[in-house]
Structure 1
Amino acid sequence: MASNASVEVSSLLVPSVVEMAKEPSTSIPSRYLRSDIEKAAVPDGDKALQIPVIDMQKLVSGGPNNSEIEKLDFACKEWGFFQLVNHGVDSILLENLKAEIAKFFKLPMEEKKKWWQTPGKAEGFGQAFVVSEDQKLDWGDLFYMLAYPLRLRNPSLIPSLPSPLSETMERYTSDLNSLSKAMQEKIAEALHMKIEEMKELVGEGRQTIRVNCYPPCDMSDQVMGITPHSDATLITVLLQLNDVDGLEIRKDGKWVRVHPQPDAFIVNVGDMLEIISNGRYRSIEHRGTVHPEKERLSFATFFGLRYDGELGPAPSLVSEQSPAKFMKVKVQEFYKGLFSRGLQGKAYIDTFKIDQD
C-alpha cells in the first residue's frame, strides 16, 4: 500500500459495516453477499494449519551456518507464510495495543467520523480498493494510515487518536519498523544477496498499517472479511488482536485456516519480494473470514520500497542461467496501478511477469 501524500486513489466511500452489523441480518445489502465463496478444507484431525515457525532470536544470533536462516528460506519459498516468535516486541505493549484498538472500533459513529476517509483518500476509517459502484464489498471496517517515513505521515492522524492509543501506536509502529529492517537483512542473507543490495532496493522504505474489524455475521458463509489477494508489499507482519481466528491461506490449491501462537506475528511474502527474489519466494493468496457470533480484530503492518525507487529482480539474482522473470517498474507506477483496481488474487503481480517462452 502507499501513502496518500504521493498517490491518488480511486476508492469510493462506503458505509460502516460495524454499524450495519448492529441491524438484523435480513437487512444485509446484496453487495456484501457472495455465492462464489470456496469452502475451506478441514485439515487432518480437524486442526488449524501449522505454518512454519521462525525464532527471531535464533535468526539474529546464529553464526555463518545458521539453521534458522535455512528455515526462513524454506518458509518463504515453500509456504510464503511463517509465524515469528521471540521477536522482541514487548508483550505488555501488545496487550495494551489489543485493548486500545478494541475500544477504538467501539467508539460512537459520531466520534469515528473525525477519522473517516474522504473522497480520493485511503487513510482513516473505511474500506480499501473500492473502485466501482457494483463490486462486491468486504464485511469489515478498517483503519489505514502511512506510518513511515515520518516526513510523509499525515500529522493529523496519530496525534489526534485517543490517548493512550496514540502513544501506543507510536511505540508499536517504531518497534515494527526496527523489526522489519532486521527481517530484511535476514531475508537477503537467505537469498544470498548482499545486505547492501537489499538496503539499496528498499531505501528509506515505507510502512503502512491496516487495522481490521470484522463484525460477526450470522450469514458468515455468504460474506467475506477480506477478498482473496496477495499483498503488494515486501513483507507483511500481522498481529491477531483477539482470540478469533479467520486468516486462511491457499495451500496446495485449498483454503486452510491459520491458527497463530499467542503474541506471535504472522509474516508473509509480498509481491515486491517475489519480484526482487526473481520468483524464488512467492506471495501467497490469503483471505479473511467472518465469524457468525464473534468480532475479529487484526493489525496488519505493510513494508514496501521507497516511493521514488525502482522495483525489479535483484541484479545479483539474475543471470544467463536464471533470467529475469519480472519486468522493472517504477515504484510510483506500481502503487498507482495497485490502487486503480480491486483485489483479485495474484492478478496484479501477474501483469509484471515476463513470458519465458
Structure 2
Amino acid sequence: MSVNIDDIEMEEAPTYAPSLPVPNVQEMVKMNPLEVPTKYVRNEEEMEKVNYMPQLSSEIPVIDFTLLSNGSMEELLKLEIACKEWGFFQVVNHGLQKELIQRMRNVSDEFFNLPIEEKEKYAMPSNDIQGYGHAYVVSEEQTLDWSDSLILMIYPKRYRKLQFWPKTPHGFNEIIEAYSSEVKRVGEELLSSLSLIMGLEKHALFGMHKELLQCSRVNYYPTCNTPDQVLGLSSHSDTGTITILMQDDDVPGLEIRNKGNWVPVIPISDALVVNVGDVIEILSNGKYKSVEHRAVTNKNKRRTSHASFLIPRDDVEIEPFDHMIDAENTKIYQKVKFGDYLRQSMKRKMEGKTHIDVAKIKEQLIEEQIKENA
C-alpha cells in the first residue's frame, strides 16, 4: 500500500531542533577516500581505547520476544536484569519477517547510493531534523561525526512531513511503512513488559504516553581510512522511552558503556537491539538507566543502522513513580515536560549523559558533582 499525502489527515507537525549544515561524509569519502579532515579527528582521551572490553559482548542479555509476549516469568526477570544492569538487550523471535528486514536494508542502501543531487532534494530544513543530513550539530567548533542520516517521523501519520520522504528508490515509502509498523508492534509489547517489571498495570506506560510517537533514523557510516581517530556517532544516551535498532548482520559498530568500559554489541542475525531511554530512567528514579552508546567506523566496510525511537507526546509530564521512591532511594529527578526536555537535549551536542542533568533535582546534581571531583 503506497503512502499518499491525500489519504493522511495532516496536522501541524512539531519541529524539534535546528542543526548547522555540514559536509556530506559519504561524498567526501568518494572524492578522497584517504583524507580525514581535522574536524572529524578525536584525541585518544575521547576515543577511550584503554576501556575497550570486547570479551564482555557475550554477556549482553538476549530476550526471546515470543516467550516474553506469552507471559514467561523467567523471560520477564531476564528483561528486568537487562534493564537494570545493562540498559541494552537483543531481541530474537520478534516476528519480523526476514524478507521485510532485508528489503528495508536493501532500499536504504539504494537511497544512500543515489547521486548527492537526488538525496539533497530531501535535505533537512534549517529549523528541524526531519530529512537527509546531520542532527545535533550546534557549534562550528564541535568535532563532527563520520556519518550521514535520513530522519523521518513515522507515527502518528499526521506528523509526517512527506516532502522529506524519498520518492526514489521505487518502493522506499511502502517498505519503511511496513517495517515501521512491525517495529511499532514490538515496541508496544515491550512497553507492556516494562510496565510489569516497574510494578504497574500492563498498559500503564502506553497510556501514560497519551499517544506513542515513533521516529526513524537511518544512519549511514562510510568507510574511514583512520577508523581509530573518528566516531560514527558521538557517545550519548537516548532521550526517549525505548529505542529499537536493526544493525547490519556482518559489520559491528555499536558500542555501549558498561561499568566504565566500552563493550561492542556483536550482531545476532536478524535480531533487534533495544535500549532503555531517559524517560524510563526518570520514571524508575534511576533504577533502570539509559546507557551511553556510540558508533565506531570501519576501514573496509560501510555500515548502515536503522533506529526507531519511541517517545511520549510533547505535553506528557514525566517524573519518578511514587513507588520508586523510599528511604533508601530518595527522589533524584524533578517533574519535566517531555517536549521541553527533548528540545533542550537536542540543542546541545551529543556528549555522554550530560543532558539529563536538566531533569535532576539540584541537590542531587551537586552531590554527584562533589563525588566526581573527590
Is TM-score (shorter-chain normalized) higher than 0.5?
A: yes
The 8 Å contact of residues 7 and 336 in structure 1, kept in 2 or not, is answered as no
Q: Which one of 193, 197, 203 corresponds to residue 204 of structure 2?
A: 197
State whether structure 2 residue 15 is matched by structure 1 residue 7: yes
Instruction: Give the letter for the 2:145 counterpart.
Output: D
Shift of 1:184: 0.2
Shift of 1:335: 1.7
In 2, the alpha carbon distance for the partners of 1:334 and 1:271 equals 10
The 8 Å contact of residues 237 and 292 in structure 2, kept in 1 or not, is answered as yes
Unaligned runs of 5+ in 2: 1-10, 368-374
Shift of 1:159: 6.8
State whether structure 2 residue 134 is matched by structure 1 residue 123: no
Q: Which one of 134, 143, 154 corresponds to residue 136 of structure 1?
A: 143
In 1, the alpha carbon distance for the partners of 2:308 and 2:99 equals 19
- The corresponding residue for 1:60 is 69
- The corresponding residue for 1:152 is 159
CA RMSD in angstroms comes to: 1.9
Cα pair distance change 1:319/1:201, threshold 3 Å: farther
Pairs within 5 Å for 1:202-351: 202-319=209-326, 322-351=329-358
Q: Deviations over 1:202-240 (max 9, x none)?
A: 110211111011100111111110001111110111101
In 1, the alpha carbon distance for the partners of 2:20 and 2:115 equals 22
Cα pair distance change 1:68/1:138, threshold 3 Å: same
Q: Deviations over 1:113-171 (max 9, x none)?
A: 11111211211111110001111100010111111111111133337353222111001
Cα pair distance change 1:242/1:62, threshold 3 Å: closer
- The corresponding residue for 2:52 is 41
In 1, the alpha carbon distance for the partners of 2:12 and 2:74 equals 41
The 8 Å contact of residues 12 and 120 in structure 1, kept in 2 or not, is answered as no
- Normalising by the residue count of structure 2, what TM-score does the alignment of the two structures yield? 0.89
Shift of 1:186: 0.4
- Normalising by the residue count of structure 1, what TM-score does the alignment of the two structures yield? 0.93
In 1, the alpha carbon distance for the partners of 2:173 and 2:197 equals 36
Unaligned runs of 5+ in 1: none
Q: Which one of 174, 178, 182 corresponds to residue 171 of structure 1?
A: 178
SS at match of 1:195: coil
The 8 Å contact of residues 309 and 331 in structure 1, kept in 2 or not, is answered as yes
In 2, the alpha carbon distance for the partners of 1:203 and 1:15 equals 38
- The corresponding residue for 2:8 is none
Instruction: Give the letter for the 2:70 counterpart.
Output: S
Shift of 1:294: 0.8
Q: How many residues align?
A: 351
The 8 Å contact of residues 158 and 169 in structure 1, kept in 2 or not, is answered as no
- The corresponding residue for 2:27 is 19
The 8 Å contact of residues 87 and 179 in structure 1, kept in 2 or not, is answered as yes
Shift of 1:24: 2.8
Shift of 1:315: 3.7
Q: Which one of 27, 35, 40 corresponds to residue 32 of structure 1?
A: 40
Instruction: Give the letter for the 1:203 counterpart.
Output: K
Bigger fraction of residues in helix:
2
Q: Which one of 76, 87, 110 corresponds to residue 83 of structure 2?
A: 76
In 1, the alpha carbon distance for the partners of 2:142 and 2:305 equals 24
SS at match of 2:31: coil
In 2, the alpha carbon distance for the partners of 1:23 and 1:159 equals 24
In 1, the alpha carbon distance for the partners of 2:181 and 2:47 equals 37
